Amino acid sequence: MSLSKFTALVLSAAFSIALTACGGGSSSEIRLQGAGATFPNPLYQKWLSEYGKAHANIKIDYQSIGSGGGIKQIQSRTVDFGASDSPMKDEDLKAAPGELLHIPTVLGAVVITYNLSGVSQPLRFSPDVVADIFLGKIKKWNDARIKADNANTTLPDSDITVVHRSDGSGTSAVFTDYLSKVSAEWKEKVGAGTSPNWPVGIGGKGNEGVTGQVKQTPNTIGYVELAYAVQNKLPVALLKNKSGNFIEPSIDAVTAAAAGALAATPEDLRVSITDSAGATAYPISSYTYILAYKNQSDEAKGKALVDFLWWGIHDGESFAKDLQYAPLPAEIVKRAEAKITSITAGGKSLR
C-alpha cells in the first residue's frame, strides 16, 4: 500500500462515518463528495445548503480536511472534487490519473495583526520591513525602519514577539509566498510553504491560536485570515503594495489584487496573486480553487458537478461578501466559465 493510499484510507474512514450518519438516499438521488481546503469551508457549506434547497435530488458533501488532503483525495479519485488554496504543483498534476482543472471560486487575504498598547491608528508596513520582522532582523518596535512608515505614532522600546501558525496551513503558504516575492533573503533562507521553518517566533494552532496568543501577549505581531480578523475586530496593519500605496485589507482591495494580476494569469488559472500590480491591490491575496477532472467518468454525476460549479461562480458569489470572502473579478468569472464548459463525460459536453 502506498503512502497516498494510506492517507486516502484514513481520510475516507472519516467520510464513511459522515455518510452513514446521513443515512441512505433514494435511487434517483445524485451524491457528490468533495474534500480539501479549510479556508473556504464556511462559504462552501453555505453554497451546499443554498444549492441543496433548489436541487433536492442532488446531495453534495464537503469535508474540510486541508488543501493537502484535498489534493491527495482527488488524485486517488476518492472524491468527485477537491479543493485547494494554492494551485497544484506540476508534479502533483502529473501524478493524477487524468487532466485536472483549477476552477477559482473566491479570493481571500492574509492580514497582519498586532498587540501594541498605546497605538491608536493602524500601523503601516513596507514589504521589506515585514520580511525582516519575521526573519528576526528587526527586533524592536521602535526600530528606525518601522518608524519611517509610522511617523505620527509613538512606538515602544520593546522586543517584537512574532506569532505564526503552527499547523500546516494555506494561510502560511500565502503569507510566505508573499514574503518570498518581496525579500530575496526570505526566499533563500526560508521559502514558501504550508509549514515553513520559521526563523523566529512562537507558533499558535489555527487562526484562533494565533489570535489568542497575539491578544494575550503584549508586543506581538502575527498574521491571520482577513475574514477571521474582521469577525474578531482585530487591529490590522496597512501594507505598502507594488504601486507604493498603503492599502488597508478589504474585500474590494482583494478583488483588485486579482484584477491587477490578470495580465500575469496563465490559461490554466494557476497563479499566485501576492504582491499584485494595481494601485488599490492588497498585496497578500490569493485565490482558492475547486479541483475537478476534465473527463468525468460518470455522466450524471459529472453533469451535477458542472451545474453546481456554474451556479457557484455566478449565484454563489453573492454569498461571498457576507462571509468576508472577495468575489472573483468579472474577467476571471468568464475564464472560469470556459473551464467549466470544457468538462466532458465520454467525450460529451455536459453544459
Partner 1 sequence: MSDWRKRLSPTGNSGDAIFRAAMFGTALLVVTIVVAMIVALAAHSTLSIRQFGFGFLTSREWNPIKGQFGALAFIYGTIVSSLIALLISVPLSLGIAIFLVEQAPHYLARPITFLVELLAAIPSVVYGLWGIFVLAPFLRVHVEPHLARWFGWVPLFQGPITGIGLLTGGVILAIMVTPIISAVVRDVLAAVPNTQREAALALGATKWETTLVVLVNGAPGIAGAVILGLGRAIGETMAVTMVIGNRPEISASLFQPSYTLASVIANEFTEATADIYLSSLIELGLILFFVTFVVNAIARLLVWRVTRRTVAA
Chain residues binding partner 1 by CB under 8 A are 1, 3-4, 6-7, 65-69, 71-72, 92, 159, 161, 166-170, 190-198, 201-205, 209, 212-213, 216-217
The Cα 142–Cα 227 span in angstroms is 29
**From the CB of 229, what's the least distance to partner 1, in Å?**
17
Residues paired with 348 in a beta bridge:
345
**From the CB of 32, what's the least distance to partner 1, in Å?**
22
**Nearer Cβ to partner 1 (149/167):** 167
Q: Considering Cα of 335, then 81, then 25, then 346, what sign does the dihedral take?
A: positive
Of residues 244, 14, 223, the one with CA closest to residue 109: 223
**Nearer Cβ to partner 1 (202/323):** 202
**From the CB of 33, what's the least distance to partner 1, in Å?**
17
**From the CB of 205, what's the least distance to partner 1, in Å?**
5
**Nearer Cβ to partner 1 (164/303):** 164
**From the CB of 133, what's the least distance to partner 1, in Å?**
15
**Nearer Cβ to partner 1 (5/348):** 5
The Cα 207–Cα 225 span in angstroms is 7
Structure-block grid coordinates of residue 243: 504601486
The Cα 162–Cα 260 span in angstroms is 30
For residue 345, the tally of other CB atoms under 10 A from its CB is 19
**Nearer Cβ to partner 1 (33/194):** 194
> In angstroms, how far apart are the furthest CA atoms of the chain?
69
**From the CB of 303, what's the least distance to partner 1, in Å?**
30
Of residues 214, 190, 218, the one with CA closest to residue 203: 214
**Nearer Cβ to partner 1 (161/241):** 161
SS3 100: strand
**Nearer Cβ to partner 1 (29/208):** 208
The Cα 126–Cα 132 span in angstroms is 10
**Nearer Cβ to partner 1 (65/256):** 65
Structure-block grid coordinates of residue 111: 492580514
**From the CB of 254, what's the least distance to partner 1, in Å?**
22
**From the CB of 309, what's the least distance to partner 1, in Å?**
24
Show the 3-state SS of 324-335. Answer: CCECCCHHHHHH
Q: Which strands make up the sheet holding 202-204, listed edge to edge?
A: 58-64, 30-36, 81-84, 285-293, 100-115, 220-225, 161-165, 202-204
Phi, psi dihedral angles at 75 (to 5 degrees):
-65, -40
